Chains A and B, each alone.
Chain A
């Protein structure tokens, strides 16, 4: 999928630059990674480009829309919180490379090769100091660690390392005079500023984002409260006044449902669970038939249920709305071991033996479906002997689920 803006995803291998670029342009990720590595090997352009993009592109919004995240990346649901954790220990690797480079430089100079040690050693110290500092600042900004004061100390330590490295450039110079000292001081100041700047920029951006989000949330809450107090009340009143099977009542109910969905949208609890799905089906059926379908749920829906269960439930609700009408109750109970669903109506009643064998509706679409997925379906008289109650039961973790195609 092409993203309109180049952003770095939170789930990433190194800095997320390649992944972000691939997503932005639609190129396959392995190709982008290979090209980057090739460019890096051939003269280091890849690394520079990578660093530049890393510094300038923002990180993907952190679950601005948790619902959407859950919907689009089901496998990442568990990593929604741990998504920030990088999968490669970049800092450690870079530090190791720096140490290796320092050691190699030392060995090479011992062996007589003319290595500009006076330049190489301070450079390595500065670079590793900068890397460490950035890492600490990043942690500090995300409050990843429990004690931020310890982080601050470590970040300051890394900054001192940067300063030391810069000073080393000048200490190794031959005769120190006023100008050397002056230049060294300026250089240290600039060096530290360059290391700190990206962190400060990000911090201000975070603050601005946060403030904007708060304002949006407050606006939304106010609108929701207003609609809740005025429109929802009126819709409730219309339903109360109108005949339950009338057009006015049906419209009011449909509107109430829609408004409620909108008002409570974004709250994770009203997400992709079975109960929400049943409510959606109920809303569709209510538009067509003179029935009020009340869906009540208890327990946490299992992460996935066979489509056939929903299909059977839909058929039962449709039957109730079509043949009985009026008030239809749907009760869903999801325990860790089973899903039980009852659809109760107060219509003329339905006895399975009386149904002609050629009427496939109930037999096939409810009973047959449930049997095929290893569940059971029962038709019993409704409350007090009137109406019909359809009881669907599906044991969980019980063998293979033949999901209906």
Chain B
């Protein structure tokens, strides 16, 4: 079996708007191969299981299935396609949507107004196992984990708070810094930045702090 880095980047686009799908398909970088498109939850699950892409570009709001949208696709497809990673794309600003899809297992979230190059970059990053945070998501994380009011994790394995370094990274991402710029500003390597972001993603997925989804819904933070 070839290592993931050598394989070409294959993606599946899941969105219920055909205009958006074709627009995104045309805009993706040349080295990304689109294996197929799906418009509903059921189509998406079948397509992902059948083709086993490395990354699924997944709309948060989707018709069909049990009405669970993108989060339902992840839950149903993840076990049968263990090597596939999910990147959530959304026009939604609703925090609960984004948090739900992340907690279902998406490796990142970007807005649909991101350029084709940005989406391609994000897809590559997700394929390599890293996490992709938009500035808004970073801002939400800072808020949700109490970093704003000065809470800092004491142990590295603590799930409900962020370490000081993670907070610094999140603050810079919230200010619109790219990973490379974060690395330069903090005098660390890009790899270290990626490690921190992945660790924050894990906390976002596993933490039971304030029941994040309900909390996000209540405060409409994104």
Contact = CB atoms under 8 A, between A and B. Distances in A.
Interface of A: 228-229, 232-234, 236-237, 239-241, 244, 253, 256, 260, 264, 267, 269-270, 294, 296-299, 327, 329, 331, 333-336, 342, 344, 383-385, 389
B91 A333 contact: no
Given A236-B112, A269-B220, A296 B174 contact: yes
Nearest to A299: B148
Contacts of A335: 148-150
Interface of B: 16-17, 19-20, 23-24, 27, 61, 91-93, 111-116, 135-136, 138-140, 142-143, 147-150, 171-172, 174-178, 180-182, 184-185, 219-221
B29 to A, nearest CB: 14
Contacts of A385: 184
A240 B112 contact: yes
A370 B104 CA distance: 44
A236 B59 CA distance: 13
A237 B136 contact: no
A222 B142 CA distance: 33
27 contacts: A228-B91, A229-B16, A233-B17, A236-B113, A237-B19, A240-B23, A269-B221, A294-B176, A296-B138, A296-B174, A297-B221, A298-B139, A298-B140, A298-B143, A298-B221, A299-B142, A331-B139, A331-B174, A335-B148, A335-B150, A342-B175, A344-B175, A344-B177, A383-B176, A384-B177, A384-B180, A384-B185
B116 A383 contact: no
Contacts, number: 107
A299 B113 CA distance: 25
A233 B148 contact: no
Nearest to A333: B148
Nearest to B149: A335
Given A234-B19, A236-B91, A336 B175 contact: no
Given A228-B91, A228-B92, A296-B139, A237 B176 contact: no
A234 B112 CA distance: 10
Given A237-B23, A298-B142, A331 B176 contact: yes
A256 B113 CA distance: 11
B175 A331 contact: yes
A239 to B, nearest CB: 4
A237 B148 contact: no
A398 to B, nearest CB: 16
B15 to A, nearest CB: 8
A296 B91 contact: no
Contacts of B113: 236, 239-240, 253, 256
Nearest to A297: B139
B93 A240 contact: no
Given A296-B139, A334-B148, 9 more contacts: A232-B91, A233-B17, A240-B23, A240-B116, A241-B27, A256-B113, A335-B150, A342-B175, A384-B184
B174 A298 contact: yes
Contacts of A244: 115
A232 B219 CA distance: 22
B220 A267 contact: yes
A229 B97 CA distance: 14
Contacts of A237: 19-20, 23, 112
A384 B19 contact: no
A384 B175 CA distance: 13
Contacts of A342: 175
Given A298-B174, A327-B176, A236 B135 contact: no
